[in-house]
Each structure stands twice: as structure tokens, then as C-alpha cells.
């Protein structure tokens, strides 16, 4: 299937590399849409015939809005409606609706995060986290969180004799959670730097699929809903 994808998506020789990747290399993910998510025929993509012509991609969304017409037909109409959709769904849908402004990078939201992009200095990371925490707070509304009751998860730390339990709903963001864990275990206070990547310990969690993930990548809301258990592990293991 990779062989029939037009060159400008696969970049020539890298198409074969995409197939042979043994693990998910996040740096490449966005250029090559995940092939397992949909079946397609080459007609759905606008091919770029010569270097001078630029594609007007007609395939953007993975759901029922796919147009099966020949490449280039009705592209503008599709675009107009997509633009309206993307502006109305504000930050909510983690799928391709929000990527209506983007073309072939129809990867799911969790794979969109790439190392070092957007290019923001590491010293701004703490601003990021409090911003997404505050956005989550505002969008959820004041009373809603309190009504749903506590969300207690176990917290284990490598080398500690016993585990603790914390209520994730009492924290507004990663920063507060980190401070609370620090108060319980004393793990982060000796570290340098605000981001959880530095220092001796890293904060990881198990999500509902049972995978061990590094905390801090997804917005706080998403984290609370998917986190089943927290684990504070040594940075040497986390690398």
C-alpha cells in the first residue's frame, strides 16, 4: 500500500522506511499518516503531478465526510465546510476535525506531539502546564468538578516502603500534583528545574490500557480521566 501513496506524502525513499519502522518514531509520525487507521484508494489523494503544481488535498478527515470523487473536484466546497467546523469545535475533539486546516497529517491527537514542537524554550514549560490547567478549569466550570466526587489513585514510588493514595480532583494541574507528591514523598524538591524531566525522579502513570506513560504530555482533563495509578520512578529508568 505504501508504494502507491503519492511522493509528496511519503517523500520518496522514506516510504519504505515508514513500513520498516520497528517502533513508533515520533519525529516521523506526522509526515506519514498512520496507515492502519483507514483503507483508501489512491484516488482520494490529490497527486502532485509536477513539482510546480501544488496539491489541494481533498482527504482530510477519517470519518464519514470522505469524498470519493476524482482528485481536485469539489475541493473548495469541502474546505469551506471544514474551516467552519474547525472554528466551531474549540480544542475539544481530539481527532481530525480540528486538523481541518492541516492536510495529510491526519494522525490522531495523541501522536501529534513531537519532540521539540512547537518550538518553545524549556523554561516556558511551566507556563504551558498552568495554562492548560487554567483552561481546563474554566471550560469545565466551577461546580462541575466538585460534584463528581473524589478520584483516588494509588501512588507508588520506587524505593518507598508503602504506597499512598491521592485524589486527583483536588488538583488543578500538573504543578499542583507535583507539589503534593513532593510533600508526600519528598521526591522532587531536590531536583533542579521546574519540568518533571529533570532531577532524580519522574512522574509516570498507568492509563486505562495498562500502559506506563510519562505524565505531562496530555492536558490535565485527559490525564485525570485516563490515569488509573501513579508511579514515581527514577529518571534513569524513565529515559
Partner 1 sequence: MPYFPDEVVEHILGFVSSHRDRDAASLVCHVWYRIEGLTRRSVFISNCYAVRPERVHARFPCLRSLTVKGKPRFADFNLVPAGWGASAEPWVDACARACPGLEELRLKRMVVTDGCLNHLAHSFPNLRSLVLVSCEGFSTDGLATIATNCRFLKELDLQGSQVEFRGRHWLSCFPKPSTSLESLNFACLDGAVSANALESLVARSPNLKSLRLNRAVPTAVLAKILTSAPKLVDLGTGLVAQSNNAGALPSLYSAIQQCTSLNSLSGFWDSPRWITPIIHYICKNLTCLNLSYAPMFRTVDLIGTIHQCQNLQHLWVLDHIGDAGLKVVASSCLELQELRIFPANANVLASTGVTEEGLVAVSSGCRKLNSMLYSCSRMTNSALITVAKNCSRITSFRLHICLHGSVDAVTGQPLDEGFGAIVRSCKGLRRLSMSGLLTDSVFLYIGMYAERLETLSVAFAGDSDDGMIYVLNGCKNLRKLEIRNCPFGNTALLAGTHRYEAMRSLWMSSCDITLGGCRSLAAAMPGLNVEVISQADGGANDAKKVEKLYVYRTLAGPRDDAPGFVSAL
Contact call for residue 61 and partner 1 (CB under 8 A) = no
Contact with partner 1 (CB under 8 A) among 91, 163, 183, 214: 91
- Spatial contact of 176 and 169, defined as CB atoms under 8 Å apart: no
The least CB distance from residue 163 to partner 1, in Å, is 27
- Spatial contact of 44 and 2, defined as CB atoms under 8 Å apart: no
Contact call for residue 134 and partner 1 (CB under 8 A) = yes
Alpha-carbon distances of 173 from 126, 128, 136, 196, 200, rounded to whole Å: 11, 11, 9, 13, 21
Whole-angstrom distance, CA of residue 91 vs CA of residue 127? 18
Contact call for residue 36 and partner 1 (CB under 8 A) = no
Contact call for residue 141 and partner 1 (CB under 8 A) = no
Contact with partner 1 (CB under 8 A) among 54, 64, 208, 236: 54
Contact with partner 1 (CB under 8 A) among 218, 227, 232, 233: 218
Nearer Cβ to partner 1, position 163 or 179? Answer: 179
**HEC per residue, 76-100:** HHHHHHHHHHHHHCCCCCCCCCHHH
- Spatial contact of 71 and 52, defined as CB atoms under 8 Å apart: no
Q: Is the peptide bond before 63 cis (omega within 30 degrees of 0)?
A: no
User: Which residues form the interface with partner 1 (CB under 8 A)?
Assistant: 7-8, 11-14, 27-28, 30-31, 51-52, 54-57, 75, 79, 83, 86-87, 89-91, 94, 98-99, 101-105, 109, 112-125, 127-132, 134-135, 191-194, 197-198, 218-219
Amino acid at each position: 500500500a505504501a508504494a502507491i501513496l503519492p511522493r509528496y506524502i511519503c517523500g520518496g525513499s522514506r516510504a519504505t522506511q515508514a513500513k520498516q519502522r520497528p517502533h513508533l518514531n515520533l519525529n516521523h509520525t506526522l509526515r506519514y499518516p498512520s496507515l492502519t487507521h483507514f483503507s483508501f484508494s489512491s484516488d482520494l489523494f490529490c497527486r502532485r503531478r509536477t513539482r510546480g503544481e501544488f496539491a489541494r488535498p481533498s482527504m482530510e478527515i477519517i470519518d464519514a465526510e470522505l469524498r470519493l470523487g476524482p482528485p481536485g473536484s469539489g475541493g473548495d466546497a469541502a474546505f469551506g465546510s471544514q474551516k467552519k467546523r474547525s472554528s466551531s469545535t474549540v480544542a475539544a475533539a481530539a481527532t481530525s476535525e480540528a486538523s481541518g486546516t492541516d492536510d495529510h497529517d491526519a494522525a490522531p491527537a495523541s501522536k501529534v506531539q513531537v519532540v521539540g514542537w512547537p518550538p518553545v524554550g524549556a523554561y516556558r514549560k511551566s507556563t504551558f502546564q498552568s495554562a492548560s490547567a487554567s483552561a481546563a478549569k474554566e471550560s469545565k466550570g466551577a461546580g462541575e468538578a466538585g460534584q463528581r466526587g473524589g478520584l483516588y489513585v494509588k501512588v507508588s514510588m520506587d524505593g518507598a516502603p508503602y504506597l499512598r493514595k491521592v485524589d486527583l480532583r483536588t488538583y488543578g494541574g500538573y504543578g499542583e500534583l507535583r507539589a503534593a507528591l513532593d510533600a508526600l514523598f519528598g521526591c522532587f524538591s531536590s531536583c533542579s528545574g521546574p519540568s518533571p524531566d529533570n532531577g532524580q525522579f519522574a512522574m509516570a502513570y498507568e492509563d486505562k490500557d495498562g500502559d506506563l506513560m510519562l505524565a505531562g504530555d496530555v492536558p490535565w482533563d485527559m490525564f485525570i480521566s485516563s490515569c488509573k495509578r501513579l508511579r514515581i520512578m527514577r529518571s534513569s529508568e524513565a529515559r
